Amino acid sequence: MLAYLLIICVAFYVVTASLIRLVGEYLFSQKVSDEQRMAGELAVALSEPFADRDAERLYSDVRSASESTGGRIMVLDLYGVVQADTYSEYNGTQLMRSEVAMVLSGGGEAYGFYESPESGAGSFLLPGLTVDMIGLYAAPIMADESMAGVLVFITLAQDMYQSLMYIQTQMILWLVLVALAVAILSLFVSRFFTKPVSNLITGMSQMTRGDFSGRVKVKGKSEFAQLASTFNMMCDRLESLDKSRSQFVSNASHELKTPLSTMKILIETLVYQEPMDEGMCREFLGDINKEIDRLNLVINDLLTLVSMDSGEMKVNMKSASLTDMLNETMRRLQPLARERGIEMSAAIAQGVTVNCDPMKLTQVFYNLMDNAIKYTGRGGEVKIELVRKDKKAIARVIDTGIGIPKEDQMHIFDRFYRVDKARSRETGGTGLGLSIVKQVVLLHGGDITVSSEEEKGSTFTVELPLQG
């Protein structure tokens, strides 16, 4: 930051310095040409009284010209001897200045500048005057086309010097002002750029501490804003993952704890209650056995999900007949349906093959059919359909059961989600079945959807890519 500021200041100084130089040179050349012209005009005006050797007229002309121009005028003859002087100081003395010599030698007009008060230059303009700078102009006085003398015109160069000084101080003032403005602006600009970065750093360190609730403010459409909104999206995702992870753990422990507590009560009754007849004991042991089965089921489902989550699930892909798979699963579940008074029917297309892991895909349709039977009352119907459509195999499990309320339909594929908690417990469900189903279908490059109406029934549609 400081380096940039320094560079800007140096650049500005260089520009200012060269500008001062340029302005100075311009003013100088302007003044020189003006005054040189004036000296030439004076030489013409004074040539007549000088040539006529009219001393009185020459003096009065010299004095009035001095008054109107504000400079000192001297008229010299061809030997450099002063014939007339504004202040009559040099009359009769030879003024051998280099400019005079130059004119006398036929070099045309000449000028020179004299600085420093010590040189006595000031008094050269006005006796006793102490100034910093004077200009001396010499021009030939012509008479009848030949040089008759030299005109010396001395002016004060102080005004030019002062205006240059004035410009210089003004420019230095501007330099300081601009440098200050640049410093403030760059501070502001750098803050503008570093603020979002420091916000991001704060958000990230918050995240590193395991707190995903922090969000970064998004302003505008710059790259930083995009970065911030991507970061926020990442936070959303991580937060929801974190939430679902802890929800999963608490749900899982709840599901494991319930059969364990039931078993504990049953066992305590068996151990401490005396005397108990054999029939009662058998009933209790049978209940314990059921709870163990349930525990086993939950643990198996959990293990399946965990292995799918970690990506360690091994899939054994091969070409298999979906037609056979559906028929076989239906056959396995037929007794259960009969027992529940449910009529099962099928409209399964022949010879439909897909590339799949048959074990896992069978599990999918088993779960769907099991649900259809579980959530359909006595006298209901469950229909299995399989059709081919646009390089896809479309399988449907249709029931005339209790249906799923609209607001629950988007959640039924979530882990542990059950529409009617009490009823599901009664039917032995854990709410893991459909989430496993969905994961397996996605693993096969397929999709699963549900359409359902309360009290009318549900249809689960599984789409799988056909082989080849």
Ligand X SMILES: Nc1ncnc2c1ncn2[C@@H]1O[C@H](COP(=O)(O)OP(=O)(O)OP(=O)(O)O)[C@@H](O)[C@H]1O
Instruction: Return residues touching ligand X (CB under 6 A).
Output: 367, 371-372, 375, 399, 401-404, 412, 417-420, 424, 429-434, 458
Nearer to Mg ion, 66 or 371 (CB): 371
Nearer to ligand X, 321 or 461 (CB): 461
Nearer to ligand X, 97 or 438 (CB): 438
Minimum separation from the CB atom of position 311 to Mg ion (A): 24
Binder of residue 122, out of Mg ion, ligand X, none (CB less than 5 to 8 A by kind): none
CA–CA separation, 68 and 9 (whole Å): 46
Nearer to Mg ion, 196 or 433 (CB): 433
Main-chain phi, psi angles of 128, to 5 degrees:
85, -5
Binder of residue 424, out of ligand X, Mg ion, none (CB less than 5 to 8 A by kind): ligand X
Which position's Cβ is nearest Mg ion?
A: 433
Binder of residue 152, out of ligand X, Mg ion, none (CB less than 5 to 8 A by kind): none
Binder of residue 109, out of Mg ion, ligand X, none (CB less than 5 to 8 A by kind): none
Nearer to Mg ion, 124 or 413 (CB): 413
Q: CA 186 → CA 4, 13, 189, distances in Å?
A: 9, 18, 5
Minimum separation from the CB atom of position 220 to ligand X (A): 45
Tokens read off for 219: 């302003």
Minimum separation from the CB atom of position 444 to ligand X (A): 18
Binder of residue 418, out of ligand X, Mg ion, none (CB less than 5 to 8 A by kind): ligand X
Nearer to ligand X, 86 or 371 (CB): 371
Contacts of 45 (CB under 8 A, 6+ apart): 61, 65
Binder of residue 80, out of Mg ion, ligand X, none (CB less than 5 to 8 A by kind): none
Nearer to ligand X, 21 or 254 (CB): 254
CA–CA separation, 312 and 251 (whole Å): 23
Minimum separation from the CB atom of position 293 to ligand X (A): 12
Binder of residue 358, out of Mg ion, ligand X, none (CB less than 5 to 8 A by kind): none
Single-letter code of the amino acid located at 444: H
Minimum separation from the CB atom of position 408 to ligand X (A): 7
Minimum separation from the CB atom of position 415 to ligand X (A): 8
Minimum separation from the CB atom of position 443 to ligand X (A): 17
CA–CA separation, 147 and 398 (whole Å): 129
Minimum separation from the CB atom of position 372 to ligand X (A): 5
CA–CA separation, 104 and 95 (whole Å): 12
Which parts of this chain interact with Mg ion (CB under 5 A)? 371, 433
Binder of residue 140, out of ligand X, Mg ion, none (CB less than 5 to 8 A by kind): none
Helix 55-69, helix 2-51: angle, nearest 10: 160
Binder of residue 412, out of Mg ion, ligand X, none (CB less than 5 to 8 A by kind): ligand X
Tell me the pairing of strands 381-389 and 392-399: antiparallel
Q: How many other CB atoms sit within 10 Å of the CB of residue 90?
A: 20
Q: How many other CB atoms sit within 10 Å of the CB of residue 372?
A: 27
Nearer to ligand X, 46 or 252 (CB): 252
The greatest distance separating any two alpha carbons of the chain, rounded to the nearest whole angstrom, comes to 166
Nearer to ligand X, 123 or 451 (CB): 451
Q: CA 277 → CA 92, 280, 288, distances in Å?
A: 161, 6, 17
Minimum separation from the CB atom of position 240 to ligand X (A): 20
